[in-house]
Amino acid sequence: MDIILAQASFVFIQALGGLASAASLFLVASGLSIIFGVTRITNFAHGAFYMLGAYVAFTLTDRFGGAFGFWGSLLLAALIVAALGALMEMALLRRIYHVPELFQLLATFGVTLMVQDLVVMAWGPDDLMGPRAPGFRGAVEILGHRVPSYDFLLMALGPAVLGLLWLLFHRTRWGVLVRAATQDRDMVAALGVNQKWLFTSVFALGIFLAALGGALQIPRTTVTHGMDLSILVEAFVVVVIGGLGSVTGAFLAAVLVSELNAFGILLLPKISLVLVFLVMAVVLVLRPWGLLGKPFTAARQAAGISVRPWQPFSPAERALAAGAILAASALPFLVGDYGLTVGSEICIFVLFAASLHFIMTVGGLDSFGHAAYFGLGAYGAAFLTVLAGLPMEAALIAGPLLALAGAALFGWFSVRLSGVYFAMLTLAFAQITWSIAFQWVEVTGGDNGMLGVWPADWAAGARGFYWLSLGVAVAGVAALRALVFSPFGYALRAARDSALRAEAIGLDRARLQWLAFIVAGTFAGLAGALQAFLKGSVFPDFLGIPVSVDGLVMVLLGGVETVSGAVAGAVVYKALAIWLMSRTDLSRLVLGSAIVAIVLLFPRGIVGFVEDARDRYLPALLRGRGRSSGRETAP
């Protein structure tokens, strides 16, 4: 009896802790949700602003003591950061609302990178310990357990903010406009509402909530420069479970996720990391728009719809591509071993980016979890060499089959969704795969990875391996390119361009996209298998979010409206990242600035920019008549 009572009280205390954590998560997620609802921007920098909120609050509370100083500092910190957010919206995002949606994600990702280095520059690399909240320093004893009194404040704060937001959205003119814009922003614009300021103010409110969420954390936890990404992923999960654009949904989901985190570690330690993503996957499969979300009307064209039809290479372009491949294969005569290792890695990521590009542009599906198939291919190859003792050649062919199987399983569920929900479900599946690799230590070695994945003798040297990687990358990209122009590629693109018309000519959209997902996953797996042999080892990192994000950045840099832009994007991004890493301590700041600059200068990606220039000037030069490229120029 006593044991049951003790357990019941323990469960109760855990639940209280979960509720307290839910408050900050709710603030961050509701901000993200509001911003997405109105501006359709997937704000990757949201976590960065949350972190900035905590850092600024730390500095301010350090300076202004006393109860008034403390609480005033938290509020002031959130206001300052909200002003910074509004500034970013005006200076950066306003210029790129007309380009394909994911470019805004790329721009905010660039800002995230910059903030990471800026924070280290301003506040140093060490974790910071904030002051306790005046009046809430102690703990309350409940059922024999001590619960910090500050937790009770947070528990009350969540519903209070929810109530205030409800009043704001239902009782003010501004709030009505925000809700209207969430439902149909084109209609709101047509009614003469100044969209610019509506967007900016919504953005500022969203960032304010994120920064307040961060500031409120300082009495509870240390302030670190890794807190941006951890909260970001959780906030995305919350927003998606709750339903995009729904504040109440975000509240429910924040409580759900926090409680899952609080209990998962106790009840199901084996799958604690994956529990939240499992729940998200289940919610999305059962309720594709989240708990309280509604399906969005597609306000804008899907990314990738271009007036310029895709065409196979002309003879001149073919010669150019052949020349580039020839030049690349001559690299071993020009650079040393280090250069060749870098070159091999670039080749591998060219193939990875090309496979993501295929599903994103031809399939019209933005996968945020493509690393899953890269990693599965790598683990597949590692299992075969380390556990089964197969040679490299066999592992390179059979390893990607694990990626194929994973893509077949996850893709079957994912292609039933579209847009951001598709992106989030793919992210969830990638995280699930990651946690399996991380927590199933007996098979995968967990965090220690699998070592001893050595290539065959002929490929053991830097030269041999470089040629192998180049050969596989060229063959893979060529195969993907051929697929784009095959009947399957056309049918897939047809389903992307107009689902309505595609159905009316007998095309099965879900099956086409499922097959495309499997194809893309398999090629990513091939890249992953190569990476395993390049590194000689495999780690859970191969499956991590940063790898997926790298792939996205490469595709977007290259240009989503092109057939093979990912190749250029991968070369530029990977070379830039590796080179910067070796040159400067502030690689993230420089890389982030470079990404932001590229987004502003080449909003259609590098290859898209080249094609624009070619279509605008080349015909006039060659044929002496100006053939209009038929596209509007950006205002």
Which residues are near other proteins by CB under 8 A?
A: 304-312, 483, 485-491, 493-494, 496-498, 500-501, 503-508, 511-512, 515, 630
The helix-helix angle for 149-171 and 173-190 (nearest 10°) equals 50
Q: Which is nearer to other proteins, 256 or 483 (CB)?
A: 483
Please state the closest distance from residue 486 (CB atom) to other proteins, in A.
5
Question: What is each CA distance from 480 to 95, 181, 356, in whole angstroms?
Answer: 33, 40, 11
Please state the closest distance from residue 404 (CB atom) to other proteins, in A.
15
Question: What is each CA distance from 462 to 259, 292, 306, 326, 357, in whole angstroms?
Answer: 50, 54, 41, 18, 28
Contact status, residue 111 vs residue 45, Cβ threshold 8 Å: yes
Q: Which is nearer to other proteins, 50 or 514 (CB)?
A: 514
Q: Which is nearer to other proteins, 137 or 614 (CB)?
A: 614
Q: How far apart are CA 555 and CA 360, in angstroms?
A: 9
In degrees, rounded to 5, the angle at the alpha carbon of residue 629 between the alpha carbons of residues 623 and 634 is 140
Please state the closest distance from residue 415 (CB atom) to other proteins, in A.
15
Please state the closest distance from residue 485 (CB atom) to other proteins, in A.
5
Q: Which is nearer to other proteins, 307 or 601 (CB)?
A: 307
Q: Which is nearer to other proteins, 42 or 562 (CB)?
A: 562
Residue 349 half-sphere exposure, CB side, CA atoms within 13 Å? 27
Q: Which is nearer to other proteins, 120 or 499 (CB)?
A: 499
Each residue of 424-454: b (16+ CB within 10 Å) or e? bbbbbbbbbbbbbbbbeeeebbeeebbeebe
Q: Which is nearer to other proteins, 230 or 498 (CB)?
A: 498
Question: What is each CA distance from 282 to 234, 277, 278, 429, in whole angstroms?
Answer: 16, 8, 6, 11
Q: Which is nearer to other proteins, 108 or 562 (CB)?
A: 562
DSSP 339-402: HHHHHHHHHHHHHHHHHHHIIIIIS----S-THHHHHHHHHHHHIIIIIT---HHHHHHHTHHH
Please state the closest distance from residue 517 (CB atom) to other proteins, in A.
14
> Distance between terminal CA atoms of the chain?
74
Please state the closest distance from residue 187 (CB atom) to other proteins, in A.
17
Please state the closest distance from residue 497 (CB atom) to other proteins, in A.
4
Alpha-helix runs per DSSP H in 172-215:
173-190, 195-215
Contact status, residue 19 vs residue 255, Cβ threshold 8 Å: yes
- Which of 509, 560, 493, 216 is CA-nearest to residue 357? 560
- Which of 352, 311, 485 is CA-nearest to residue 493? 485
Q: What is the DSSP letter of 292?
A: S
Q: Which is nearer to other proteins, 183 or 329 (CB)?
A: 183
Please state the closest distance from residue 308 (CB atom) to other proteins, in A.
6
- Which of 532, 574, 531, 533 is CA-nearest to residue 551? 574
Helix (H) or strand (E) holding 120: helix 102-123
Please state the closest distance from residue 510 (CB atom) to other proteins, in A.
10
Please state the closest distance from residue 361 (CB atom) to other proteins, in A.
9
Six token digits for residue 516: 């495309």
Q: Which is nearer to other proteins, 457 or 508 (CB)?
A: 508
Please state the closest distance from residue 301 (CB atom) to other proteins, in A.
8
Six token digits for residue 326: 């020839």
Q: Residues 6 or more apart from 273 whose CB is under 8 A from it?
A: 431, 435, 438, 439
Six token digits for residue 333: 């005569």
In degrees, rounded to 5, the angle at the alpha carbon of residue 57 between the alpha carbons of residues 53 and 59 is 125
Q: What is the DSSP letter of 603?
A: T
Please state the closest distance from residue 284 (CB atom) to other proteins, in A.
23
Q: Which is nearer to other proteins, 202 or 518 (CB)?
A: 518
Q: Which is nearer to other proteins, 182 or 562 (CB)?
A: 562
Q: Which is nearer to other proteins, 153 or 479 (CB)?
A: 479
Please state the closest distance from residue 307 (CB atom) to other proteins, in A.
4
**Sheet strands (E) in 496-602:** 537-538
